Structure 1
Amino acid sequence: CALTQLERPGAPVIFGNFLSSMAMRSGSPTFGTPEPALGSLVVGQLARRLNLPLRCAGNFTTSKLPDAQAMTEGTLSMLSAIHCGANFILHSAGFLDGLLSMSYEKFVLDCDLCGALHSYVPGMRLEDDDFALDAFAEVGPGGHFFGCAHTMRHYQTAFWDSETADNRPYETWHEDGGEDAATRANRLWKQRLADYEAPPMDTATAEALADFVARRKAAEDDRWH
Structure 2
Amino acid sequence: MRQMSVRRKRRDRPAEDAAGPQVPDLATKGGRLAILDDTEMARIHEVSVTLLAEFGMSDAPPIVAELVCAAGGRMTEEQRLTFPPDLVARALAGLRRDVALCGRLPEHDMALGDGAVHVGSGGAAPMILNIDSDTYRETTLGDLYDAARLVDALPHVQFFARSVVARDMDTDSLLDINTCYAALAGTTKHVFVSAAFPEHVADIAKMCHIVAGGREAFAARPFLSLNINHVAPPMRFSPDAAEVLVAAARAGLPCMVNTFGQMGASSPVTVAGCLAQSNAETLAGMIVAWLANPDVHAVYGARPMVTDLRSGGMAGGSGEQALLTAAATQLARFLGLPNSTIAGATDSKIPDAQAGYEKALSITMAAHAGANLITQTAGMQAGLMGASMEAYVIDNDMLGAIRRSLAPVEISLDTLCATMIAKTIRSDGHFLGHPQTFDRMKSDFLYPGLADRRSIADWQASGARDIRVQAKELATEILAGHFPQTLAPAVDATLRETFDIRLPVARMTKP
- Deviation of 1:133 (Å): 4.3
Show CA shifts across 1:140-189 (max 9, x none).
44443322211222111232211111011101101101111111211221
Does structure 1 conserve the Cα–Cα contact (< 8 Å) formed by 2:343 and 2:376? yes
**CA RMSD, Structure 1 to Structure 2 (Å):** 2.4
Residue 53 of structure 1: aligned partner? 338
For 1:20 and 1:122, the matched residues in 2 are separated by 28
For 1:199 and 1:78, the matched residues in 2 are separated by 31
* Cα distance, 1:128–1:58 mapped onto 2, change above 3 Å: same
For 1:151 and 1:199, the matched residues in 2 are separated by 41
Residue 170 of structure 1: aligned partner? 456
User: Would you say 1:199 and 2:485 are equivalent positions?
Assistant: yes
User: Would you say 1:188 and 2:489 are equivalent positions?
Assistant: no
Please show how residues 6-17 of structure 1 align to structure 2 within 5 Å: 6=288, 8-9=290-291, 10=294, 11-17=296-302
Could you say what secondary structure the match of 2:340 adopts? strand
Please show how residues 85-104 of structure 1 align to structure 2 within 5 Å: 85-104=370-389
- Deviation of 1:194 (Å): 3.5
Per the normalisation by structure 2, the TM-score is 0.39
Show CA shifts across 1:25-76 (max 9, x none).
3332211211122112322332133221221112210110000011111011
Could you say what secondary structure the match of 1:182 adopts? helix
* Cα distance, 1:13–1:184 mapped onto 2, change above 3 Å: same
For 2:487 and 2:316, the matched residues in 1 are separated by 41
Residue 2 of structure 1: aligned partner? 284
Match for 2:497 among 196, 211, 217? 211
Residue 65 of structure 2: aligned partner? none
Match for 1:153 among 420, 439, 443? 439
Instruction: Provide structure 2 residue ranges, at least 5 long, that are not aligned to the other structure.
Output: 1-282, 503-511
Match for 2:402 among 99, 117, 120? 117
Match for 2:412 among 127, 138, 146? 127
Match for 2:316 among 8, 24, 31? 31
Which structure ranks higher in relative contact order (CA pairs < 8 Å, sequence separation ≥ 6)?
2
Task: Report the AA paired with residue 153 of structure 1.
Answer: D
* Cα distance, 1:147–1:5 mapped onto 2, change above 3 Å: same
* Cα distance, 1:203–1:83 mapped onto 2, change above 3 Å: closer
Name segments (4+ residues, structure 1) moved above 4 Å.
none
For 2:313 and 2:335, the matched residues in 1 are separated by 33
Task: Report the AA paired with residue 169 of structure 1.
Answer: S
For 1:104 and 1:144, the matched residues in 2 are separated by 43
Moved more, 48-57 or 167-176: 48-57
Could you say what secondary structure the match of 1:30 adopts? coil
Task: Report the AA paired with residue 5 of structure 1.
Answer: I
Does structure 2 conserve the Cα–Cα contact (< 8 Å) formed by 1:134 and 1:150? no
For 1:193 and 1:44, the matched residues in 2 are separated by 34
Residue 44 of structure 1: aligned partner? 329
For 2:451 and 2:470, the matched residues in 1 are separated by 9
* Cα distance, 1:67–1:131 mapped onto 2, change above 3 Å: same
Instruction: Provide structure 1 residue ranges, at least 5 long, that are not aligned to the other structure.
Output: 218-225
Task: Report the AA paired with residue 354 of structure 2.
Answer: Q
Does structure 1 conserve the Cα–Cα contact (< 8 Å) formed by 2:325 and 2:343? no
* Cα distance, 1:46–1:141 mapped onto 2, change above 3 Å: same
Per the normalisation by structure 1, the TM-score is 0.83
Task: Report the AA paired with residue 438 of structure 2.
Answer: M
Residue 358 of structure 2: aligned partner? 73
Does structure 1 conserve the Cα–Cα contact (< 8 Å) formed by 2:286 and 2:300? no
- Deviation of 1:20 (Å): 2.5
Task: Report the AA paired with residue 441 of structure 2.
Answer: Y
- Deviation of 1:124 (Å): 1.4
Task: Report the AA paired with residue 331 of structure 2.
Answer: L
For 2:383 and 2:297, the matched residues in 1 are separated by 30
* Cα distance, 1:21–1:2 mapped onto 2, change above 3 Å: closer
